[in-house]
């Protein structure tokens, strides 16, 4: 028996977050390997509490992670609620604080103040530097779906009617049915299929965006698949402005030339009406799409951009797009994460976790003393 205790917290810090870092399938695999898995009850999680209970997990009240013994490892997905108290546990999650996002110091400083450790899922990598688990595919898939629906909506509705709120789908096929209907309406109004440019098309996220477009019926020749070779010359790129939809799927760590900016948008050749920034690094100072500053949500999926002339332009910058397909996205992510979780017994001596701890320590060393 490993003696390792994992505590799956509910996602109280993120509205409409239905995904889960653990699924009943992966929880069972961990339990079979000797782990104890405590699961906080949750009415938001896509998996029913009973699904976890049926595989041997122990259900505990919501938000009890903070009072759990310090040797329990707390696992979740999105950032914790914004609070001040120090963190004493090992936390496995996406914290969104390593790329100097707004407020990163407040987020990160809670760990050293409480003697806790952050093992950030975004930076959990194998020996080749590739992330061991990511939601990228379903993020791109969902982002492209909403971009196509927004394109059609703006063709068939006045500017006074913004694209409406969205909610999760049970599976990919159900989402594609709605996207196909939207494309048909948009095509009837405009007389043409949309042209979609995807940057980062060779990665997980980009492949998801491309797959959605093709499965929804966008002609292959209308899906422009760009990656590092096409962007090497540096932007801004007129090809973006001359497309109907731009889906940004790159993983950004440093400053690069802008892909699009207000100057490049100010042209009579503009056809661009929808930008989906799947990366959604709204507060990242290196964001190569500096035409918006607002993160959008499932309740308000788009935000308008002030441009000259027609068509009107909207941005989608939802930072939890895979929640549009929470069951499939969670199953895929958790399956990829499972081999690493099965090595948590002696995690400090396991390379994948040791690298994550080292990065945490390096980032903590950059904190202003006033935050410690």
Q: Which residues are known binding-site members for NAD(+)?
A: 130, 203-204, 227, 231, 251, 278, 318-321
Output b/e per residue, 212-222; b: 16+ Cβ within 10 A: bbebbebeeeb
Q: What is the DSSP letter of 8?
A: E
- CA-angle at 327, arms to 130 and 212, nearest 5°: 70
Q: CA 91 → CA 43, 76, 78, 267, 360, distances in Å? A: 22, 8, 11, 48, 11
* List 7, 18, 28, 78, catalytic entry: 78
**91 strand-pairing partners:** 74, 118
Q: CA 21 → CA 18, 134, 271, 334, distances in Å? A: 10, 11, 39, 6
Annotated catalytic residue 96 = yes
Q: What is the CA radius of gyration of the chain?
A: 21
**Residue 15, token pair as written in the block:** 């509205």
Annotated catalytic residue 28 = no
Instruction: Round to whole Å and give the CA distance between 236 and 257.
Output: 7
Cβ neighbour number for residue 249 with a 10 Å cutoff: 28
Would you call 164 helix, strand, or coil by DSSP?
coil
**318 strand-pairing partners:** 296
DSSP letter for each residue of 46-64 = SS-HHHHHTTTPEEE-TT-
Instruction: Round to whole Å and give the CA distance between 71 and 77.
Output: 19
Give the residue from 314, 254, 220 showing the smallest Cα distance to 100: 254
Binding residues: 130, 203-204, 227, 231, 251, 278, 318-321
**Cβ partners under 8 Å of residue 133, min gap 6:** 121, 124, 333, 334, 336, 337, 340
**Residue 270, token pair as written in the block:** 């503009």
* List 96, 138, 225, 363, catalytic entry: 96
**Cβ partners under 8 Å of residue 353, min gap 6:** 119, 124, 340, 343, 344, 347
Which residues are marked as active site?
78, 96
């Amino acid at each position: 028996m490993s003696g390792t205790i994992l505590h799956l917290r509910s996602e109280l810090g993120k509205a409409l977050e239905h995904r889960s870092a653990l699924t009943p399938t992966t929880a069972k695999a961990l339990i079979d390997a000797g782990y104890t898995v405590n699961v906080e009850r949750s009415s938001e999680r896509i998996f029913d509490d009973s699904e976890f209970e049926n595989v041997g997990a122990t259900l505990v009240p919501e938000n009890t992670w903070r009072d759990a013994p310090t040797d329990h490892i707390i696992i979740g997905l999105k950032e914790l609620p914004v609070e001040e108290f120090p963190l004493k546990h090992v936390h496995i999650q996406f914290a969104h604080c390593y790329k100097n996002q707004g407020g990163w110091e407040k987020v990160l400083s809670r760990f050293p103040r409480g003697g806790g450790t952050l093992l950030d899922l975004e930076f959990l990598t194998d020996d080749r530097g590739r992330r061991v688990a990511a939601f990228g595919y379903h993020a791109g898939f969902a982002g492209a779906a909403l971009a196509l629906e927004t394109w059609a909506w703006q063709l068939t509705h006045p500017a006074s009617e913004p694209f409406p709120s969205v909610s999760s789908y049970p599976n990919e096929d159900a989402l594609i049915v709605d996207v196909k209907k939207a494309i048909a309406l948009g095509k009837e109004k405009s007389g043409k299929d949309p042209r979609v440019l995807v940057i980062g098309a060779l990665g997980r996220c980009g492949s998801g965006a491309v797959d959605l477009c093709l499965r929804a019926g966008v002609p292959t020749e209308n899906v422009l698949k760009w990656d590092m070779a096409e962007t090497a010359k540096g932007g801004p790129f007129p090809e973006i402005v001359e497309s109907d939809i731009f889906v940004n799927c790159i993983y950004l760590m440093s400053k690069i030339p802008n892909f699009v900016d207000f100057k490049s948008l100010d042209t009579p050749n503009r056809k661009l009406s929808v930008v989906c920034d799947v990366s959604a690094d709204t507060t990242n100072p290196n964001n190569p799409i500096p035409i918006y500053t607002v993160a959008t949500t499932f309740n308000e999926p788009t935000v308008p951009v002030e441009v000259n002339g027609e068509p009107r332009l909207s941005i989608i910058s939802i930072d939890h797009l895979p929640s549009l397909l929470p069951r499939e996205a969670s199953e895929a992510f958790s399956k990829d994460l499972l081999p690493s979780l099965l090595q948590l017994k002696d995690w400090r001596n396991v390379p994948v976790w040791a690298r994550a701890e080292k990065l945490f320590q390096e980032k903590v060393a950059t904190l202003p003393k006033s935050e410690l």
